[in-house]
Amino acid sequence: MCKAFFFSKMVIFGLFLCVLLYSQPGRCSHICPKTCICEQATSVQCFRAQAVPPVVSNDVKKIHLGYNHLKELKVRDFSGLPGLEEVVLSSGGIEQIDADVFRSHVSLRTLDLQKNKLRQLPRGLPSGLEILRLGHNRIHSLQESALEGLKKLRVLNLRNNQISTLRSNPLASLEKLECLNLDGNEIESIHSALDLPFLNSLSAASNRISSVSPTFFSSLQLLKTLDLSSNRLTKVPRDLPRSLVQLNLDRNRIRSLRSRDMSRLHNLISLSVSSNRLVSVDGGLRLPNLSVCELAGNRLRTLPARLTSKLQKLDCRQNDIREVTFQQLAGMKLLKHLFLENNSIQHFEANALRNCIQLTSLALEQNLLSAVPHGLPETLVRLDLKGNNIDTIHERELKPLRRLQVLNLRNNKLSGLPALNLPKLKVLYLDGNPWQCSCELIKVKKALLAKDVEIRPDFCSEPVRESLDEWRAYVLARDICEKQTRDLLLDGQTERMDNEEYDDYDL
């Protein structure tokens, strides 16, 4: 009793002391507002808030008010939180922000105002801000005065707004900017030079850009990633920065890749020009460090010539390629993935891939092949031959593929299958073929199942078929196979008995 009484007295005294010291920051635990979650007095997250909650603690560094209903922000809303470092106000329906709401917050580094209803940039932002996210608003222009003084800003996200013109002046003061995202706006052309010496990543996808001035890139000497996909470009922009490592030009209207546009890109590792109107590649891909080249969905009739020897992935799906030759791929010693599905390939030269000694994936679906290409590299792990005209497979064609794990033979004209001595095979796709369930084919199936090969879907099995004739054919084939098996067993037993009698006679 005495101990319990003493403990209760201490608790009451502690609470009384807290009340006395509440006005002195850092001395006592904070009071967390209703509908909020507070973590150690430094982080606050609130739900269903109609306004910024009252001061919870002077020690708060992060406040998360996303997905609330805050139509307007006043200066007083954050006046009692001097130590703020991160403010998240996304998806709050904010339409108006008074000037200088955040100016006095010298410690603020990250401000997230995405998915609101802002029509202009907030004014009076603190000079120490490093990350500013304003995507998914209704901003139609960049005011120079709003961005002035943000000399430490590294990331500016303005995606999915209504910006129609990109001018260099408003961005000129952002001397430390590294990442600029302008995706999903209404920009039609880019003319003036962008003077951002530290810019590392620029994304302006899904705009209406039809032309880019050569001078635009003159000051972007550290730019490594450029995304201009889903625009209206008819040619590769000229004088791209030599520093580029990744270039995405997907979904434009480009007809050719010319050497003069690409030759300076010695550091380029990844190039994507899919879903354009390419009919030719004029030696523009002989780049010393190019590792990934994606040209799917164009109008190419042949594989690009003179590809770099460092290429590891080549994607030429959905073109009009007619043949594959050794000469086209002779230098591809590092190639690992080759995607050629949905073309018109009829001729695949024997041993065309003999120099591709690291190839693991080969996709040849939806072509016009009548046979499995001869001389495939033994390094293959996946081989896709779906949707061709292959009616026969010989054991010698697949036997060298000792590492093959996935084989897709769907939708061909196969009625039989040889013994597949593929020790690593895990999955076999076989549907869409006119199989004849002969004894030989059933033996092949049993041998595959005994090796735990997954056959998708099952074939030559007992489930009721859609056609009664097919079902009867299956039953007849099964009965014949069982009879042949019994006859073989009986013949073997008779032979052993005859041998025993002969041996006994000799004795």
pLDDT score recorded for residue 167:
80
pLDDT score recorded for residue 323:
96
User: Are 370 and 394 in contact, with CB atoms under 8 Å apart?
Assistant: no
Give the rounded distance of the alpha carbon of 247 from its chain centre: 15
User: Are 385 and 362 in contact, with CB atoms under 8 Å apart?
Assistant: no
- pTM comes to 0.84
pLDDT score recorded for residue 232:
97
pLDDT score recorded for residue 470:
56
pLDDT score recorded for residue 492:
46
Domain at 322-490: CATH code: 3.80.10.10
Q: Give the integer Cα–Cα distance in Å for 142 and 121.
A: 7
| Average pLDDT, consecutive stretches of 10 residues, N- to C-terminus, the chain (507 residues) | 40 36 41 82 85 78 89 88 92 92 93 96 94 97 89 97 88 94 94 90 97 90 97 95 97 93 93 96 84 97 88 97 94 96 97 96 98 96 98 93 97 95 96 92 92 91 52 59 56 46 36
- Domain borders along the chain are 322-490
Burial class (CB in 10 A: 0-12, 13-18, 19+), 290: buried
Q: What is the DSSP string of 437-479?
A: --HHHHHHHHHHHHTTPEEES--SSSSPPSSHHHHHHHHHHHH
Q: Any idea what DSSP says for residue 343? A: S
